[in-house]
Chains A and B, each alone.
Chain A
Protein backbone atom coordinates (compact mmCIF):
# COMPACT_ATOMS: atom_id res chain seq x y z
CA UNK A 1 0.00 0.00 0.00
CA UNK A 2 1.76 3.10 -1.24
CA UNK A 3 -0.15 6.34 -0.69
CA UNK A 4 2.07 8.11 -3.20
CA UNK A 5 0.64 5.93 -5.97
CA UNK A 6 -2.52 8.05 -5.96
CA UNK A 7 -2.25 10.41 -8.91
CA UNK A 8 -3.47 13.97 -8.53
CA UNK A 9 -6.35 14.92 -10.80
CA UNK A 10 -6.48 18.19 -12.74
CA UNK A 11 -9.45 19.42 -10.70
CA UNK A 12 -7.54 18.85 -7.46
CA UNK A 13 -4.56 20.76 -8.81
CA UNK A 14 -6.71 23.71 -9.91
CA UNK A 15 -8.53 23.81 -6.55
CA UNK A 16 -5.22 23.69 -4.69
CA UNK A 17 -3.73 26.44 -6.87
CA UNK A 18 -6.70 28.77 -6.38
CA UNK A 19 -6.95 28.17 -2.62
CA UNK A 20 -3.23 28.49 -1.92
CA UNK A 21 -3.06 31.63 -4.06
CA UNK A 22 -5.93 33.01 -1.97
CA UNK A 23 -4.14 32.11 1.26
CA UNK A 24 -0.85 33.72 0.25
CA UNK A 25 -2.41 36.81 -1.37
CA UNK A 26 -4.58 37.35 1.71
CA UNK A 27 -1.59 36.92 4.01
CA UNK A 28 0.49 39.36 1.98
CA UNK A 29 -2.31 41.93 2.00
CA UNK A 30 -2.78 41.48 5.75
CA UNK A 31 0.77 42.52 6.51
CA UNK A 32 0.94 45.34 3.95
CA UNK A 33 -2.38 47.19 4.36
CA UNK A 34 -2.15 50.62 5.97
CA UNK A 35 -5.74 50.58 7.21
CA UNK A 36 -6.37 47.91 9.90
CA UNK A 37 -9.92 47.32 8.58
CA UNK A 38 -8.51 46.26 5.18
CA UNK A 39 -6.02 44.05 7.01
CA UNK A 40 -8.86 42.33 8.90
CA UNK A 41 -10.78 41.76 5.66
CA UNK A 42 -7.67 40.29 4.01
CA UNK A 43 -7.27 38.02 7.03
CA UNK A 44 -10.87 36.83 6.55
CA UNK A 45 -9.99 35.99 2.93
CA UNK A 46 -6.90 34.10 4.13
CA UNK A 47 -8.85 32.08 6.66
CA UNK A 48 -11.65 31.33 4.19
CA UNK A 49 -9.19 30.00 1.62
CA UNK A 50 -7.37 28.11 4.38
CA UNK A 51 -10.65 26.42 5.35
CA UNK A 52 -10.90 25.29 1.71
CA UNK A 53 -7.38 23.85 1.91
CA UNK A 54 -8.36 22.00 5.10
CA UNK A 55 -11.34 20.52 3.26
CA UNK A 56 -9.03 19.27 0.48
CA UNK A 57 -6.96 17.58 3.21
CA UNK A 58 -10.15 15.70 4.27
CA UNK A 59 -10.24 17.70 7.51
CA UNK A 60 -13.94 18.51 7.24
CA UNK A 61 -14.50 19.19 10.93
CA UNK A 62 -11.51 21.54 11.15
CA UNK A 63 -12.58 23.33 7.94
CA UNK A 64 -15.98 24.16 9.46
CA UNK A 65 -14.36 25.15 12.76
CA UNK A 66 -11.92 27.40 10.89
CA UNK A 67 -14.84 29.33 9.38
CA UNK A 68 -16.81 29.45 12.64
CA UNK A 69 -14.00 30.28 15.07
CA UNK A 70 -11.57 32.33 12.97
CA UNK A 71 -13.60 33.98 10.22
CA UNK A 72 -16.55 34.29 12.59
CA UNK A 73 -15.62 34.89 16.20
CA UNK A 74 -11.98 36.05 16.20
CA UNK A 75 -12.39 38.38 13.23
CA UNK A 76 -15.47 40.02 14.78
CA UNK A 77 -13.39 40.62 17.91
CA UNK A 78 -10.66 42.21 15.78
CA UNK A 79 -13.17 44.43 13.96
CA UNK A 80 -14.56 45.65 17.30
CA UNK A 81 -11.11 46.53 18.60
CA UNK A 82 -10.15 48.22 15.30
CA UNK A 83 -13.30 50.30 15.72
CA UNK A 84 -12.14 51.42 19.18
CA UNK A 85 -8.44 51.87 18.33
CA UNK A 86 -8.65 53.17 14.80
CA UNK A 87 -5.49 55.14 14.15
CA UNK A 88 -4.47 54.90 10.55
CA UNK A 89 -0.70 54.82 10.25
CA UNK A 90 0.98 57.52 8.19
CA UNK A 91 3.62 55.01 7.11
CA UNK A 92 2.87 51.30 7.27
CA UNK A 93 6.50 50.50 8.07
CA UNK A 94 8.21 52.83 10.54
CA UNK A 95 11.72 53.98 9.65
CA UNK A 96 13.03 53.85 13.22
CA UNK A 97 15.17 50.74 13.64
CA UNK A 98 14.28 49.58 10.16
CA UNK A 99 17.75 48.23 9.35
CA UNK A 100 17.77 45.81 12.29
CA UNK A 101 14.24 44.64 11.56
CA UNK A 102 14.89 44.25 7.84
CA UNK A 103 17.99 42.19 8.72
CA UNK A 104 15.74 40.02 10.93
CA UNK A 105 13.28 39.51 8.08
CA UNK A 106 16.13 38.63 5.70
CA UNK A 107 17.54 36.11 8.20
CA UNK A 108 14.08 34.58 8.72
CA UNK A 109 13.59 34.52 4.94
CA UNK A 110 16.88 32.67 4.49
CA UNK A 111 15.91 30.07 7.12
CA UNK A 112 12.52 29.53 5.48
CA UNK A 113 14.16 29.38 2.05
CA UNK A 114 16.54 26.65 3.24
CA UNK A 115 13.69 24.64 4.81
CA UNK A 116 11.61 25.05 1.64
CA UNK A 117 14.60 23.92 -0.44
CA UNK A 118 14.96 20.87 1.78
CA UNK A 119 11.24 20.06 1.45
CA UNK A 120 11.45 20.43 -2.33
CA UNK A 121 14.62 18.32 -2.47
CA UNK A 122 13.17 15.52 -0.34
CA UNK A 123 9.73 15.60 -1.95
CA UNK A 124 9.90 11.96 -3.00
CA UNK A 125 10.11 10.61 0.55
CA UNK A 126 6.86 8.83 1.52
CA UNK A 127 5.75 11.34 4.16
CA UNK A 128 6.06 14.33 1.82
CA UNK A 129 4.83 12.57 -1.32
CA UNK A 130 1.64 11.12 0.21
CA UNK A 131 -1.36 12.51 -1.61
CA UNK A 132 -4.20 10.06 -1.09
CA UNK A 133 -6.99 10.19 1.44
CA UNK A 134 -5.98 7.86 4.29
CA UNK A 135 -7.69 4.46 4.37
CA UNK A 136 -9.27 5.29 7.74
CA UNK A 137 -13.05 5.20 7.95
CA UNK A 138 -14.65 8.64 8.54
CA UNK A 139 -11.28 10.41 8.45
CA UNK A 140 -11.62 13.96 9.77
CA UNK A 141 -15.37 13.94 10.36
CA UNK A 142 -17.04 15.38 13.43
CA UNK A 143 -17.84 11.96 14.86
CA UNK A 144 -14.34 10.47 14.55
CA UNK A 145 -12.43 13.57 15.73
CA UNK A 146 -15.02 14.07 18.50
CA UNK A 147 -14.64 10.46 19.63
CA UNK A 148 -10.89 10.93 19.85
CA UNK A 149 -11.36 14.20 21.79
CA UNK A 150 -13.62 12.56 24.35
CA UNK A 151 -11.58 9.37 24.77
CA UNK A 152 -7.79 9.63 24.39
CA UNK A 153 -7.64 13.43 24.75
CA UNK A 154 -10.24 14.00 27.44
CA UNK A 155 -7.84 15.62 29.91
CA UNK A 156 -6.26 18.05 27.39
CA UNK A 157 -9.77 18.87 26.16
CA UNK A 158 -10.88 19.84 29.68
CA UNK A 159 -7.61 21.73 30.21
CA UNK A 160 -8.23 23.77 27.07
CA UNK A 161 -11.71 24.64 28.34
CA UNK A 162 -10.08 25.90 31.54
CA UNK A 163 -7.65 27.95 29.39
CA UNK A 164 -10.60 29.53 27.57
CA UNK A 165 -12.28 30.33 30.90
CA UNK A 166 -9.09 32.00 32.13
CA UNK A 167 -8.90 33.99 28.87
CA UNK A 168 -12.51 35.15 29.24
CA UNK A 169 -12.01 36.26 32.85
CA UNK A 170 -8.69 37.90 31.94
CA UNK A 171 -10.31 39.76 29.05
CA UNK A 172 -13.07 41.09 31.30
CA UNK A 173 -10.67 42.06 34.08
CA UNK A 174 -8.29 43.86 31.72
CA UNK A 175 -10.92 45.93 29.94
CA UNK A 176 -13.45 46.82 32.63
CA UNK A 177 -13.68 50.39 33.80
CA UNK A 178 -12.63 50.93 37.41
CA UNK A 179 -14.55 53.84 38.89
CA UNK A 180 -12.62 56.21 41.11
CA UNK A 181 -15.26 56.26 43.88
CA UNK A 182 -15.10 52.49 44.43
CA UNK A 183 -12.44 50.75 46.39
CA UNK A 184 -12.74 47.55 44.26
Chain B
Protein backbone atom coordinates (compact mmCIF):
# COMPACT_ATOMS: atom_id res chain seq x y z
CA UNK B 1 0.00 0.00 0.00
CA UNK B 2 1.21 3.55 -0.65
CA UNK B 3 2.49 5.46 2.34
CA UNK B 4 -0.28 8.06 2.43
CA UNK B 5 -2.82 5.38 3.36
CA UNK B 6 -0.75 4.46 6.41
CA UNK B 7 -0.34 8.14 7.31
CA UNK B 8 -4.12 8.64 7.15
CA UNK B 9 -4.64 5.66 9.49
CA UNK B 10 -2.00 7.11 11.81
CA UNK B 11 -3.72 10.51 11.81
CA UNK B 12 -7.11 8.94 12.56
CA UNK B 13 -5.64 6.89 15.41
CA UNK B 14 -3.92 9.96 16.87
CA UNK B 15 -7.22 11.85 16.68
CA UNK B 16 -9.01 9.04 18.52
CA UNK B 17 -6.35 9.23 21.24
CA UNK B 18 -6.73 13.01 21.48
CA UNK B 19 -10.50 12.72 21.73
CA UNK B 20 -10.13 10.11 24.48
CA UNK B 21 -7.76 12.31 26.48
CA UNK B 22 -10.05 15.32 26.16
CA UNK B 23 -13.42 13.66 26.71
CA UNK B 24 -12.94 10.82 29.17
CA UNK B 25 -12.57 11.42 32.91
CA UNK B 26 -11.54 7.92 33.97
CA UNK B 27 -7.80 8.21 34.47
CA UNK B 28 -7.16 4.64 33.22
CA UNK B 29 -8.90 5.33 29.92
CA UNK B 30 -7.01 8.63 29.58
CA UNK B 31 -3.74 6.69 30.00
CA UNK B 32 -4.89 4.18 27.38
CA UNK B 33 -5.67 7.07 25.01
CA UNK B 34 -2.12 8.36 25.48
CA UNK B 35 -0.90 4.88 24.51
CA UNK B 36 -3.04 5.15 21.35
CA UNK B 37 -1.35 8.46 20.49
CA UNK B 38 2.12 6.96 20.99
CA UNK B 39 1.18 3.97 18.82
CA UNK B 40 -0.03 6.33 16.07
CA UNK B 41 3.33 8.10 16.19
CA UNK B 42 5.12 4.75 15.89
CA UNK B 43 3.07 3.89 12.81
CA UNK B 44 4.04 7.20 11.13
CA UNK B 45 7.73 6.63 11.97
CA UNK B 46 7.69 3.15 10.43
CA UNK B 47 5.80 4.37 7.34
CA UNK B 48 8.32 7.11 6.57
CA UNK B 49 11.13 4.69 7.42
CA UNK B 50 9.93 2.41 4.64
CA UNK B 51 9.31 5.28 2.22
CA UNK B 52 12.88 6.55 2.72
CA UNK B 53 14.49 3.09 2.86
CA UNK B 54 16.20 4.10 6.11
CA UNK B 55 16.03 1.92 9.21
CA UNK B 56 16.68 4.75 11.68
CA UNK B 57 12.90 5.10 11.94
CA UNK B 58 12.76 1.57 13.32
CA UNK B 59 15.28 2.51 16.01
CA UNK B 60 13.19 5.52 17.01
CA UNK B 61 10.01 3.40 17.00
CA UNK B 62 11.85 1.08 19.41
CA UNK B 63 12.64 4.06 21.65
CA UNK B 64 9.00 5.18 21.55
CA UNK B 65 7.98 1.72 22.67
CA UNK B 66 10.41 1.79 25.63
CA UNK B 67 9.15 5.28 26.48
CA UNK B 68 5.54 4.04 26.41
CA UNK B 69 6.45 1.21 28.78
CA UNK B 70 8.12 3.61 31.22
CA UNK B 71 5.20 6.04 30.98
CA UNK B 72 2.67 3.27 31.63
CA UNK B 73 4.63 1.98 34.64
CA UNK B 74 4.98 5.38 36.32
CA UNK B 75 1.49 6.56 35.31
CA UNK B 76 -0.20 3.46 36.68
CA UNK B 77 1.86 3.66 39.88
CA UNK B 78 0.59 7.23 40.35
CA UNK B 79 -2.98 6.05 39.67
CA UNK B 80 -2.68 3.33 42.33
CA UNK B 81 -1.18 5.68 44.88
CA UNK B 82 -3.81 8.38 44.24
CA UNK B 83 -6.55 5.75 44.49
CA UNK B 84 -5.17 4.65 47.86
CA UNK B 85 -5.40 8.12 49.35
CA UNK B 86 -8.43 9.58 47.50
CA UNK B 87 -10.50 6.44 46.64
CA UNK B 88 -11.22 7.79 43.16
CA UNK B 89 -10.12 7.26 39.58
CA UNK B 90 -11.95 10.32 38.25
CA UNK B 91 -9.72 13.12 37.04
CA UNK B 92 -12.24 15.85 37.94
CA UNK B 93 -12.13 14.81 41.61
CA UNK B 94 -8.34 15.01 41.81
CA UNK B 95 -7.96 18.77 41.68
CA UNK B 96 -6.20 19.87 44.87
CA UNK B 97 -3.25 21.24 42.85
CA UNK B 98 -5.60 23.39 40.79
CA UNK B 99 -4.93 27.10 41.32
Contacts and interface: CB of A to CB of B under 8 A. Distances in A.
Contact of B32 (A78, A102, A112): A78
A103 to B, nearest CB: 9
B40 to A, nearest CB: 9
A167 B17 CA distance: 23
Interface string A29-49: 011010010011001001100
Given A12-B1, A61-B58, A134-B53, A171 B66 contact: no
B63 A70 contact: no
Contacts of A105: 18-19, 22-23
Nearest to B28: A36
Interface in A6-23: 8, 12-13, 16, 20, 23
The A contact surface, by secondary structure, is helix
B80 interface: yes
Contact of B80 (A126, A163, A175): A175
Interface string B1-19: 1111111110111111111
A46 B39 CA distance: 9
Contacts of B23: 31, 93, 101-102, 105
Interface size class of B (residues with CB under 8 A): 35 or more
Interface string A80-106: 011011010100111011000110110
Interface string B37-58: 0010011001111111111101
A53 B9 contact: yes
A171 B74 contact: yes
Nearest to A54: B46
Contacts of A47: 39
Interface size class of A (residues with CB under 8 A): 35 or more
Contact of B72 (A13, A77, A145): A77
Contacts of A149: 59, 62
Contacts of A108: 15, 18-19, 22
A156 B59 CA distance: 10
Contacts of A133: 50
Contacts of A56: 1
B50 A58 contact: yes
28 contacts: A3-B53, A4-B2, A12-B1, A24-B9, A27-B13, A27-B17, A31-B19, A33-B29, A36-B28, A36-B29, A47-B39, A53-B9, A54-B43, A59-B46, A62-B42, A62-B58, A69-B69, A73-B69, A78-B31, A89-B26, A93-B24, A102-B23, A105-B18, A129-B3, A131-B2, A153-B59, A160-B67, A170-B73
